[in-house]
C-alpha cells in the first residue's frame, strides 16, 4: 500500500538545510534563503503569503512542506511581571517557557526537552523524569509564539534568549545548535550571539563542542564547590566531577572579554557556609567568570530551604572580597510556578481546554497583569 511521504517542517531547517531542501525540489539555492526570510516574519503561516515566490513553486511547497507554529498555548502572568507560557505539543505533551520583562530588555527562558534526565534534587523539572528531546522547530516556535504575543500585547520586542527552562540543553545538542543557527541568522530571527545564553549542569564534552562551534554565552549550574555536596545535589557530578568540569571551563573557547557565568543556588545548611564561599573562591580562581547567586525556590522538597537574605549577602561579600563579580538573582514568577527550578509542565487548564490566553485573561481579572514593558 502506498503511503504519502511526511511533509518537511521547514522550521526544523537551518539556512543550509533549507538550501539543500529547495535544491532537492529542482529550485535554485537562493530560494532557500528567500524561504528562511519569509518563515520568520510575524504573521506568516501559509506559502500563499510569500508573494515573491513563483506560484508553481508555492504549489510545490504546499505539497511537500509545512510551517509549524504553536497555535495552542496558555499564558499566566505573575504579580512581578513574569509571564509563563504553556505550549501543547503535537503528541499531547506540555512544555513551558517564561518571559522575564525588565526595564530595557525582554528575556525569554527556553525549554529544550520534555522533562529532564539530570535528576537535580531541588528542581521540579528533574522530578518529572525525561520524556523526549524537543525538535528544532519546537525550540524555535517558543520564540516565535512569544514574540508574536509580545507584539500583540504591546510589550516590546524580545531581546535576550536563555536556555534555562525545562531540560538539559546540551543533552539535545544537535537540535540546540540548529536552533541557535536560526536564532542568529540575519534572515532568521536575527539575535546577536551575545544575547543568547546556554545553561548546562556540566556535560563536559558537549561544553567543549559548544565553545568550538558557537559564540553564545555559557552558564554553568555549579551549586557546590566540592564533589561530596555536588554529587548529593546533582547526579551528573558522578559522571563529570568538579575537577573535570572546572578544567573544561578553564580551557573553554570564548571570545576575548567574555566570561562564564556560574550559577550557585544557596541551600540552607548545605552549601551556604563561609567555608563553602571560601572553597568556591579558590575553585574558580583560574576561570574568567561571573557568579550568580540565587536562593532556592520552593519546589516540593522540604529538605531544601533558602538561607535567607542576610546569609546570601554575606556569601556574596566573601566572594566579592576575593575579587569576583557576584550578582544576586532576584527570583521572578514564583507565584505562578515560573521561577528557576519550578517548571514542571503543569500549566494547562484541563477543565476548559482553551488556548492562547485563557490564563492571561484570568490574571487580568485578578489585577495581576504586569505593566507594559517600556
pLDDT digits (tens, 9 = 90+) for 168-219: 999 999 999 999 999 999 999 999 999 999 999 999 999 999 999 999 999 9
Residues ≥6 apart with Cβ < 8 Å to 279: 225, 226
* Cα 123 off chain centre by: 15
* 340 carries an active-site annotation: yes
Please tell me the predicted confidence (pLDDT) of residue 20: 97
Number of Cβ within 10 Å of residue 117's Cβ equals 15
d(CA 8, CA 5): 9
Please tell me the predicted confidence (pLDDT) of residue 353: 41
What DSSP string runs through 209-240? HHHHH---EEEEE---SSHHHHHHH-GGGGTS
First to last CA, the chain: 58
**pLDDT band at 129, cuts 50/70/90?**
confident
Please tell me the predicted confidence (pLDDT) of residue 125: 78
d(CA 178, CA 220): 21
Mean pLDDT check: name the lowest of 107-111, 250-254, 366-370: 366-370
d(CA 197, CA 262): 12
d(CA 286, CA 342): 32
* Cα 195 off chain centre by: 12
**pLDDT band at 362, cuts 50/70/90?**
very low
- Phi/psi for 91 (5° steps) reads -90, 10
CA dihedral 211, 217, 221, 223 (to 10 degrees): 110
In Å, how far are 102, 228, 287, 308 from 159, measured between CA atoms? 10, 39, 28, 32
Please tell me the predicted confidence (pLDDT) of residue 341: 52
Please tell me the predicted confidence (pLDDT) of residue 354: 40
- Whether 346 has a pLDDT exceeding 80, the answer reads no
**pLDDT band at 366, cuts 50/70/90?**
very low
- Whether 331 has a pLDDT exceeding 90, the answer reads no
- Contact, 237 vs 231, CB < 8 A? yes
Please tell me the predicted confidence (pLDDT) of residue 372: 32
Please tell me the predicted confidence (pLDDT) of residue 161: 98
**pLDDT band at 347, cuts 50/70/90?**
low
Number of Cβ within 10 Å of residue 189's Cβ equals 19
Question: Higher model confidence: residue 162 or residue 332?
Answer: 162
89-126 pLDDT, tens digit each: 999 999 999 999 998 999 999 999 999 999 998 888 77
Please tell me the predicted confidence (pLDDT) of residue 6: 87
d(CA 36, CA 15): 6
- Whether 274 has a pLDDT exceeding 70, the answer reads yes
Residue % of the chain over a pLDDT of 90: 76
Which member of 96, 138, 185, 263 is catalytic? 96
- Whether 336 has a pLDDT exceeding 80, the answer reads no
What's the CA angle centered on 300, arms 299 and 305, to 5 degrees? 70
Residues ≥6 apart with Cβ < 8 Å to 283: 225, 242, 246
Name the 3-class secondary structure at 75: strand
Please tell me the predicted confidence (pLDDT) of residue 296: 87
Amino acid at each position: 500500500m502506498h503511503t504519502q511521504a511526511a511533509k518537511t517542517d521547514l522550521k526544523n531547517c537551518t539556512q543550509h538545510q533549507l538550501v539543500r531542501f529547495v535544491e532537492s525540489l529542482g529550485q535554485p539555492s537562493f530560494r532557500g534563503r528567500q524561504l528562511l526570510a519569509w518563515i520568520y516574519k510575524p504573521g506568516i503561516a501559509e506559502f500563499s503569503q510569500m508573494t515573491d515566490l513563483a506560484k508553481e513553486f508555492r504549489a510545490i511547497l504546499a505539497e511537500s512542506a509545512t510551517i509549524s507554529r504553536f497555535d495552542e498555548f496558555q499564558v499566566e502572568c505573575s504579580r512581578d511581571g513574569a509571564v509563563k507560557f504553556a505550549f501543547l505539543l503535537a503528541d499531547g505533551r506540555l512544555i513551558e517557557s517564561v518571559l522575564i520583562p525588565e526595564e530595557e530588555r525582554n528575556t525569554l527562558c527556553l525549554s529544550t526537552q520534555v522533562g529532564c534526565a539530570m535528576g537535580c534534587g531541588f528542581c521540579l523539572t528533574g522530578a518529572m523524569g525525561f520524556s523526549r528531546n524537543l525538535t528544532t522547530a519546537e525550540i524555535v516556535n517558543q520564540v516565535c509564539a512569544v514574540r508574536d504575543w509580545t507584539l500583540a500585547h504591546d510589550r516590546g520586542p524580545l531581546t535576550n534568549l536563555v536556555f534555562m527552562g525545562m531540560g538539559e540543553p546540551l543533552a539535545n545538542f544537535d537540535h540546540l545548535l540548529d536552533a541557535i543557527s536560526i536564532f542568529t541568522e540575519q534572515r532568521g530571527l536575527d539575535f546577536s550571539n551575545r544575547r543568547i545564553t546556554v545553561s548546562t549542569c556540566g556535560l563536559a564534552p558537549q561544553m567543549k563542542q559548544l565553545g568550538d562551534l558557537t559564540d553564545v554565552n555559557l552558564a554553568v549550574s555549579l551549586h557546590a564547590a566540592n564533589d561530596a555536596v555536588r554529587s548529593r545535589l546533582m547526579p551528573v557530578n558522578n559522571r563529570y566531577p568538579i575537577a573535570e568540569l572546572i578544567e573544561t571551563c578553564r580551557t573553554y573557547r570564548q571570545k576575548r572579554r567574555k566570561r562564564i557565568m556560574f550559577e550557585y543556588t544557596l541551600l540552607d545548611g548545605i552549601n551556604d557556609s563561609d567555608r563553602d564561599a571560601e572553597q568556591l573562591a579558590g575553585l574558580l580562581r583560574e576561570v574568567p567568570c561571573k557568579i550568580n547567586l540565587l536562593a532556592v525556590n520552593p519546589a516540593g522538597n522540604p529538605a531544601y530551604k533558602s538561607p535567607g537574605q542576610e546569609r546570601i549577602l554575606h556569601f556574596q561579600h566573601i566572594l566579592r572580597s576575593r575579587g569576583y563579580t557576584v550578582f544576586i538573582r532576584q527570583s521572578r514568577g514564583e507565584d505562578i510556578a515560573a521561577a528557576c527550578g519550578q517548571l514542571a509542565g503543569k500549566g494547562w487548564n484541563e477543565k476548559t481546554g482553551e488556548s492562547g490566553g485563557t490564563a492571561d485573561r484570568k490574571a487580568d481579572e485578578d489585577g495581576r497583569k504586569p505593566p507594559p514593558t517600556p
